Chains A and B, each alone.
Chain A
Amino acid sequence: MPIKGLVFNIQRFSVHDGPGIRTTVFLKGCPLQCNWCHNPEGRKAVPEEVNGRQVGLWYDSHELMKELERDLIFYEDSGGGVTFSGGEPLSQAEFLAEMLGLCREAGIHCAVDTSGYAGKSTFRRLLGKPDLYLYDIKLMDPILHLKYTGVSNAEILDNLKYLSHCKEQVIIRIPMIPGITATLKNLEDIIRFLRGLGTITEVHLLPYHRLAEAKYRQFGVNPPVFASHEITPDEMEGYRSLFISAGFKLNLTE
Chain B
Amino acid sequence: MNERIISLRHASTSATPRISAERAVLLTRFMQSQGAREEHTPIRRALAFKYILQHKEIFIQPGELIVGERGPSPQETPTYPEICLHSLQDLEILNSREKIPFAVDDGTRHIYEEEIIPYWRGGTIRERIFTELPQAWITAYEAGIFTEFLEQRAPGHTVLDDKIYRKGMIDFIRDIDLVRDNLDHKGDQGAPERCVELQAMRYAAEAIIMFAHRHASLLDEVASHESDPLRKAELVDMAEICRHVPAHAPLTFHEALQYYWFVHLGVITELNPWDSFNPGRLDQHLLPFYTRDLAQGRIDKERARELLQAFWIKFSNHPAPPKVGVTAKESNTYTDFALINLGGVRPDGSDAVNELTYLILDVIGEMRLLQPSSMIQVSKKNPDRFILGALKIIRTGFGQPSVFNTDTLIQQMLRQGKDIVDARSGGASGCVETGAFGKEAYILTGYFNLPKVLEITLNNGTDPRTGKATGIETGDPASFTSFDDLMKAYEKQLRYFADIKIAGNHIIEKIWAQHMPVPFLSLLTDDCINNGRDYNNGGARYNTRYIQGVGLGSITDSLTALKHHVFERKTGHMKDFLEVMRKDFDGHDEFRKMLTDETPKYGNDDDRADDVLREVFEIWFRAVDGRPTASGGVHRINLLPTTCHVYFGSVTGALPDGRRAWTPLSEGISPVQGADRKGPTAVLKSAAKIDHIRTGGTLLNMKFTPSFLRNDEGLLKLMQLIRSYFRMDGHHVQFNVVTAATLKKAKKNPGQYRDLIVRVAGYSDYFVDLTDELQDEIIRRTEHGEIDVSS
Contact = CB atoms under 8 A, between A and B. Distances in A.
A101 interface: no
Given A20-B720, A74-B720, A77-B723, A13 B790 contact: no
A78 interface: yes
Contacts of B708: 15
B183 interface: no
B457 to A, nearest CB: 33
B721 interface: yes
A12 B717 contact: no
Contacts of A92: none
A106 interface: no
B724 A85 contact: no
A211 B679 CA distance: 18
A21 B721 contact: yes
Interface string A180-224: 000000000000000000000000001001010000000000000
- Interface majority SS on A: helix, strand, loop or mixed? mixed
Interface stretch (B235-243, B570-578, B656-664, B781-789): B781-789
Interface string A239-254: 0000000000000111
Contacts of A77: 720, 723-724, 727
A136 B711 contact: no
Nearest to B604: A12
Interface in A25-71: 26, 38-39, 70-71
A175 interface: yes
Interface in B702-743: 707-708, 711-714, 716-717, 720-721, 723-724, 727-728
A11 B711 contact: no
B717 A21 contact: yes
B679 A17 contact: no
Contacts of A83: 790
A73 B728 contact: yes
A113 B784 contact: no
Interface of A: 9, 11-17, 20-21, 24, 26, 38-39, 70-71, 73-74, 76-78, 80, 83, 85, 113, 136, 173, 175, 206, 209, 211, 252-254
Contacts of B723: 77
A136 B724 CA distance: 32
A26 B714 CA distance: 23
Contacts of B788: 16, 38, 209, 211
Given A12-B678, A13-B681, A15-B714, 17 more contacts: A12-B681, A12-B682, A13-B680, A13-B784, A38-B788, A38-B791, A39-B791, A71-B681, A73-B727, A74-B681, A74-B724, A77-B727, A78-B717, A78-B720, A78-B724, A175-B791, A252-B713
A38 B789 CA distance: 7
Contacts of B784: 13
Nearest to B714: A15
Contacts of A175: 791
Nearest to B680: A13
A253 B788 CA distance: 15
Nearest to A173: B791
B682 A113 contact: no
B791 A26 contact: no
Contacts of B720: 20-21, 74, 77-78, 80
B712 to A, nearest CB: 8
Nearest to A78: B720
A210 B666 CA distance: 34
A14 B717 contact: no
Contact of A38 (B724, B728, B790): B790
Nearest to B784: A13
A13 B702 CA distance: 14
Contacts of B727: 73, 77
A252 B711 contact: yes
Contacts of B681: 12-13, 21, 70-71, 74
Given A13-B679, A21-B681, A74 B721 contact: yes
Given A12-B681, A13-B784, A26 B711 contact: no
B550 to A, nearest CB: 28
Contacts, number: 85
B433 interface: no
B614 interface: no
B605 interface: yes
Contact of A9 (B605, B707, B789): B789
B685 interface: yes
B676 to A, nearest CB: 11
Contact of A85 (B678, B712, B790): B790
Contacts of B712: 252
Which of A17, A73, A83 has its CB near the most chain B CB atoms (within 10 A)?
A73
Contacts of B605: 70
A40 to B, nearest CB: 11
Given A16-B790, A206-B791, A254 B724 contact: no
Interface of B: 605, 678-682, 684-685, 707-708, 711-714, 716-717, 720-721, 723-724, 727-728, 784, 786-791
B724 A26 contact: no
A251 to B, nearest CB: 9
B460 to A, nearest CB: 39
B717 A16 contact: no
Contacts of A74: 681, 684, 720-721, 724
A206 to B, nearest CB: 6
Which of B680, B721, B724, B791 has its CB near the most chain A CB atoms (within 10 A)?
B791
A221 B681 CA distance: 34
21 contacts: A11-B789, A12-B681, A13-B682, A13-B784, A14-B790, A15-B708, A15-B714, A21-B720, A21-B721, A71-B685, A73-B727, A74-B684, A74-B721, A76-B724, A78-B717, A78-B720, A78-B724, A80-B720, A85-B790, A113-B790, A252-B713
A211 B605 CA distance: 27
A132 to B, nearest CB: 14
A15 B713 CA distance: 9
Contacts of A24: 790
A16 B713 CA distance: 10
Contacts of B790: 11, 14, 16-17, 24, 26, 38-39, 83, 85, 113
A228 B791 CA distance: 22
A133 B631 CA distance: 66
A136 to B, nearest CB: 7
A15 B789 contact: no
Contacts of A253: 711
Contacts of B684: 74
A70 to B, nearest CB: 6
A70 B786 contact: no
Contacts of B713: 15, 252
B16 to A, nearest CB: 44
A9 B788 CA distance: 12
A175 B791 CA distance: 8
A228 B790 CA distance: 24
Contacts of B678: 12
B48 to A, nearest CB: 54
A175 B790 CA distance: 11
Which of B678, B788, B790 has its CB near the most chain A CB atoms (within 10 A)?
B790
B718 to A, nearest CB: 10
A26 B790 CA distance: 8
Contact of B789 (A13, A39, A173): A39
A215 to B, nearest CB: 9
Nearest to A209: B788
Nearest to B605: A70
A223 to B, nearest CB: 16
Contacts of B714: 15
A77 B11 CA distance: 45
Contacts of B787: 11, 13-14
- The 4 A-B pairs with the shortest beta carbon distances in the complex, nearest first, are A78-B720, A13-B679, A77-B724, A77-B723
Contacts of B682: 12-13, 70
A20 B717 CA distance: 7
Contacts of A39: 789-791
B604 to A, nearest CB: 10
B717 A15 contact: yes
